[in-house]
Amino acid sequence: MTEAVRLEIRGEIALIKVNNPPVNALGQVVREGLLNAFQRAEADQQVRAVVLVCEGNTFIAGADIKEFGKPPQAPSLPEVIEVIEGCSKPSVAVIHGTALGGGLEVALGCHYRIARRDAKVGLPEVKLGLLPGAGGTQRLPRLAGVEKALDMIVSGTPISAAEAVEHNIVDELFDGDLVDAGLGYARRMVEENRAPRRTGEQTQGLEGADNEALIRAKHAEVAKRMPGLFSPLRCIAAVEAATQLPLAEGLKRERELFAECLNSPQRGALVHSFFAERQAGKINDLPSDTKPRSIKTAAVIGGGTMGVGIALSFANAGVPVKLLEINKEALQRGLQRARDTYAASVKRGSLTEDAMEQRLALITGVTDYGALADADVVVEAVFEEMGVKQQVFEQLDAVCKPGAILASNTSSLDLDAIAAFTKRPEDVVGLHFFSPANVMRLLEVVRGEKTSNEVLATAMAIGKQLKKVSVVVGVCDGFVGNRMVFQYGREAEFLLEEGATPQQVDGALRNFGMAMGPFAMRDLSGLDIGQAIRKRQRATLPAHLDFPTVSDKLCAAGMLGQKTGAGYYRYEPGNRTPLENPELGPMLEAASREKGIERKALDEQYIVERCIFALVNEGAKILEEGIAQRSSDIDVIYLNGYGFPAFRGGPMFYADSVGLDTVLARVKELYSRCGDWWKPAPLLEKLAAEGRTFTEWQAGR
Ligand code: T1G
C-alpha cells in the first residue's frame, strides 16, 4: 500500500507528498504522516525550505468526514497545523483542484501558498453543520480581512485561485506541473533567504475596517437568509474571536465553538445529507461494468414551462438540443420563453450576454419529428394525458435512430404503459425533472420494468452531465416524491377541516424548516393540477377513503391559486405576496360542517407531525415495495425537490432522530381516528418493534 504521506529530500528542499485517494482527506494516517514529515524536515540540517504537494485530482479537500462522531484520534489537525506553522524553515503549499476545509487550513498553516490557475479554495464546513475547526476562522481573517473571511466561512462557497490571490490568501498562480512549480518557488525562497511568514502572526487583515459593524451585518444576514441553522452563528462568533483575542486564545475559542457544532443534531443531519447525495448515484443491482451510451445531442418534445426548462438544462450543459412543438406559433412561444429566462439571468448579473447567446444558439426549434432522427436522447414533456403520450412515443419510435434514449418527463403516469407504445421498451426511461427544470437539482430517474441496464446507466450519466442530483425510482403513482407529497398535502388539507387556516399550517411547516408551506406551494403550482390527480385517484383508490373538500370548493369557484389571483390566499396583480383570501373562511366552515367536524385550534407540533409523519409512513411503504433503493434516497429527493430542511436530514433521517417508536405511536393514533390513509407501514412497525432506525435497516444492521 503506498504511503499516505511521503518525504523526499531534493537537495536543500524537503518535498512532502500526500497521497490519500480520492480527495486526500485528512484521515488519521495523513495527519500523522504530515506531522512526522514536517518534524523530520525541521530536524534535517540540510533542509532550508519545505514544499507540500498532493497527488491525484486535488489538494487536501478537508478532514475525513467519515471520522465525525467517532472518538478523536491523535494527532489532532490543529496540533499538526501548529507544528507546520512553527517550522523554522519556510514552507509552501502547492494547491490544485479544491483546497477545502482542513485542506485550506493546512495551506494557511504553511508560510506561503501557490495555486494552479484553475484551482479553488474554500471553507465549506458550514454546509456540514460545522465551522473551520483547525484555525481557519483565526488565520483567514488575518490574511483576507474580516469581511471576506465572514463571507467565505458563513456561505461555505469556494473562491477561484485568482480571487484568492486578490485577497492575500494565495501568493501567486502557476500553470503546469505541481512539483516543478513547488520546487521552483522553494528555490526562490532559499535564494531570497526568506524567513517563515507565519499566518497566525499576521495582523493586516484585522485592521482598517469596522469589524464590529461587519459582524453585526453578518448576523442580520444570517438571521434573514439562514433561519434555524446552528453553525452559521458559531462561524460568526469564531471570526469575532479573531478580532478580539490573540491567536492562541482565538484558537481555543474556535475549538469550543467547533465542539458545539460537532455535537449539534444539525451536524449529523447535514453530514448524512452529504453522503446520501453521493450514495444516491449508485445503483445496487447495476453491474459495475455497465457502459453508458454517449450523449452528444438531445431533443425535447413540448415547449411549455417544463419542456423549455429541460431544453435550457441541456443548453446549460453545452449539449445541442432541438425543441419540438406542434406548430410555429407554439414553437415561437417556447423559444421566446427560453430567451426571456436567460435574459432574466443576464439582468440579475448571473449570466453574461455572450453566454446567453451561446446557449440560445444550442437550442434549435423544430416542428417536424423527422428532425429528431439523430438525437441521442429525446425527452417528452407534453400534457400529462396518456393519449397524448401515446401519440408522441409512437412517432418517436418511428423516427428516432436505434439506440436513442426515449425519456418521459411524466410526473406520475405509468412509465411501463408509455414504454409499451414503442417497439423498444428497453430504451424507454423516465427523466422526471422538477419545475423550474433548469434550476431544481433533483432528477427522478424512473426505471421501467423493461428499461435496460445500459439505458439506466445512461440516464444517470445524463443527470450528471446536467449537474442534477439523480435518484433512481420505480414505477408507481407519483414515483417517490409526488407519491409522498400526495399524503402530505392531503393531511394538510384535512387540518383545514379540523380548524386550521392555511396561514397556520404553512407557518408551522415553515417554522419546522420547509422552504414553503403546502398551501403556498399549491397556489404556486395551480390547484387544478391537484384536482386532476385527485379525480384520477378517486377513480382508482378504494371508495371508502375520504378526501378533503376545500381544494375542490376553491376550484369550483375558479380560485386556482396565483394564476387566477386567488386560491388558498389572495394575490394583488403582479405581486406574489400571499394575503388572506376572505372567500376562503366560509368554505372552511362549510367543509367542516359537511364532515360534522367542530372546528378547533390546532397546535404547531400536531400540524407538523400530521404532515411530516404522513411522508414517513408512505416512505416506509415505498421502501418495502422497492420503489426506492434506500431510505437516504428518499431523503435526497425531499432535500433537493421539495424544500425539506437539510439541517433535518430528510424525512426518513428526521424520523430516525425522533425515534420510530414515537412516529409509530402517532401513526397508530391517527389510524384509529382518521382511517386507512394512516394504516401503519409494516416496515415502520417492524423497525419500531426492533428498536432500529431506517439508517440501520439500510445498512443491513
Ligand atoms: N471526507 C471523506 N470522504 C470524502 C470527503 C471528505 N472530506 N470529500 C469527498 N469524499 C468522498 C465522497 O464521499 C465520495 O466517496 C468521493 O470522496 C468522491 O467525492 C477541520 C472539520 C472534494 C469537491 O466539505 O465537496 O475539513 O462515493 O463524489 O464530485 O475545519 O467531494 O466515491 O465512496 O463529491 O469530484 C470539509 C467535501 C470537511 C469537502 C470533490 N471539506 N467534499 O467532488 O467527488 S470538514 C468538505 C466535496 C473539515 C476542518 C473541517 C467534494 C469535492 P464515494 P465526490 P467530486
Same domain, 92 and 241: yes
Do 24 and 104 meet the contact criterion of CB atoms below 8 Å apart? no
Q: Are 103 and 147 found together in one domain?
A: yes
User: Does residue 124 line the site of ligand 1, with CB under 6 A?
Assistant: yes
Domain end call among 441, 473, 505:
473
Is 243 found in the same domain as 331? no
Does 560 lie in the same domain as 461? no
Active site residue 125: yes
Task: Tell me the CA–centroid distance for residue 347 and ligand 1, in Å.
Answer: 34
Q: Is 278 in the pocket of ligand 1 (CB under 6 A)?
A: yes
Question: What is the tens place of the pLDDT at every residue in 505-523?
Answer: 999 999 999 999 999 999 9
* 8 Å CB contact between 36 and 30: no
- Ligand 1 geometric centre to CA of 540 (Å): 46
122 to each of 153, 467, 596, how far by Cα in Å?
8, 20, 59
Q: Which of 644, 298, 646, 636 lies closest to 472 in space, CA to CA? A: 636
Residue 110 within any structural domain of the chain? yes
Which whole number is the average pLDDT over 339-348? 96
**CB 77 near ligand 1, within 6 Å:** yes
Distance of CA 275 from the midpoint of ligand 1 (Å):
9
**Could you tell me how far CA 225 lies from the centroid of its own chain?**
17
| Structural domain for 324, as ranges | 298-473
At position 641, the amino acid (one-letter code) is G
Residue nearest to atom 34 of ligand 1 (CA): 278
Counting from 1 in the atom list of ligand 1, the atom nearest the Cα of 282 is 27
Say if ligand 1 is within 6 A of residue 105 CB: yes
For atom 38 of ligand 1, the residue with the nearest CA is 62
- Which ligand 1 atom is nearest residue 156's CA? 24
To which residue does cell 398535502 refer? 489
Active site residue 426: no
Model confidence over 228-247: pLDDT tens digits?
899 999 999 999 999 999 99
* 57 Cα nearest atom in ligand 1: 35
Residue 108 grid cell: 494557511
Same domain, 250 and 123: yes
Q: Is the CB of 262 under 6 A from ligand 1?
A: no
For residues 450-477, average pLDDT: 97
Phi, psi torsion values for 655, nearest 5 degrees: -60, -40
- Which residue(s) pair with 159 in the sheet? 121
Compute the distance from residue 524 Cα to the ligand 1 centre, in Å.
Answer: 36
Mean pLDDT on 252-270 = 96
Does the residue 274 lie in any domain?
Answer: no
Report the 10 Å Cβ neighbour count for 388: 14
Which residue CA neighbors atom 51 of ligand 1 most closely?
61
Ligand 1, residues 31, 54, 58, 65: which to mutate, most atoms within 8 A of Cβ? 65
Q: Which atom of ligand 1 is nearest to the CA of 281?
A: 27
pLDDT at 2: 59
Condensed to tens digits (0 to 9), the pLDDT of residues 181-208 reads 999 999 999 999 999 999 999 999 999 8
461 and 501 co-located in one domain: no
CATH code at 191? Answer: 3.90.226.10
Are both 345 and 485 inside the same structural domain?
A: no
Q: How far is the centre of ligand 1, averaged over its atoms, from the C-alpha of 157 (Å)? A: 14
CB 78 less than 6 A from any atom of ligand 1: no
What is the atom index within ligand 1 of the atom nearest the CA of 68? Answer: 21
pLDDT 10s digits, 624-675: 999 999 999 999 999 999 999 999 999 999 999 999 999 999 999 999 999 9
- 241: CA distance to ligand 1 center in Å? 28
- How far apart are alpha carbons 68 and 41 in whole angstroms? 30
Contact 128 CB / ligand 1 (< 6 Å): yes
The finding on whether 132 has its CB within 6 A of some atom of ligand 1 is yes
**What digits encode the pLDDT tens for the residues 586-637?**
999 999 999 999 999 999 999 999 999 999 999 999 999 999 999 999 999 9
pLDDT > 90 fraction of the chain, expressed in percent and rounded: 93
- Whether pLDDT at 549 is above 70: yes
- Interaxial angle between packed helices 353-361 and 305-316, expressed in degrees from 0 to 180 and rounded to the nearest 10: 110
- How far apart are the CA of 24 and the centre of ligand 1, in A? 9
The confidence score (pLDDT) of residue 228 equals 86
Position 680 in a domain: yes
Q: Are residues 250 and 307 in the same domain?
A: no
**pLDDT, tens digit, 9 for 90 and up, residues 45-78:** 999 999 999 999 999 999 999 998 899 999 999 9
Beta bridge partners of 378: 299, 406
Assess whether 464 and 497 both reside in one domain: no
74-124: pLDDT as tens digits: 999 999 999 999 999 999 999 999 999 999 999 999 999 999 999 999 999
User: Residue 18: which pLDDT band, with cuts at 50, 70 and 90?
Assistant: very high
Q: Are residues 465 and 485 in the same domain?
A: no
Percent of the chain whose predicted confidence (pLDDT) is above 70: 100
Same-domain status, 314 and 414:
yes
Check pLDDT > 90 for residue 536.
Answer: no
Instruction: Assess contact for 98 and 119: CB atoms under 8 A.
Output: yes
Out of 125, 277, 454, 609, pick the active-site residue.
125
What are φ and ψ of residue 76, in 5° steps?
-75, 160
Cβ(153) to ligand 1 under 6 A? no
Note the pLDDT of residue 227. Answer: 83
CA pair distance 214, 208, nearest whole angstrom: 12
CATH number of the domain where residue 426 is located: 3.40.50.720
| Cβ(102) – ligand 1 distance below 6 Å | yes
The C-alpha atoms of residue 273 and residue 265 are separated, in whole angstroms, by 13
Q: Are residues 96 and 242 in the same domain?
A: yes
Which residue among 473, 491, 519 closes a domain? 473
What is the domain count for the chain? 3
Task: Tell which atom from ligand 1 comes closest to the C-alpha of 279.
Answer: 27
Ligand 1 centroid to Cα of residue 458, in Å, is: 24
**Ligand 1 in reach of 63 Cβ (< 6 A):** yes
Report the separation in Å between the CA atom of 636 and the middle of ligand 1, taken as the mean of its atom positions: 17
Is 283 within a domain?
Answer: no
Q: Indicate if the pLDDT at residue 1 is higher than 90.
A: no
What average pLDDT does the structure give for the chain? Answer: 96
Residue 301, beta-bridge partner list: 324, 380
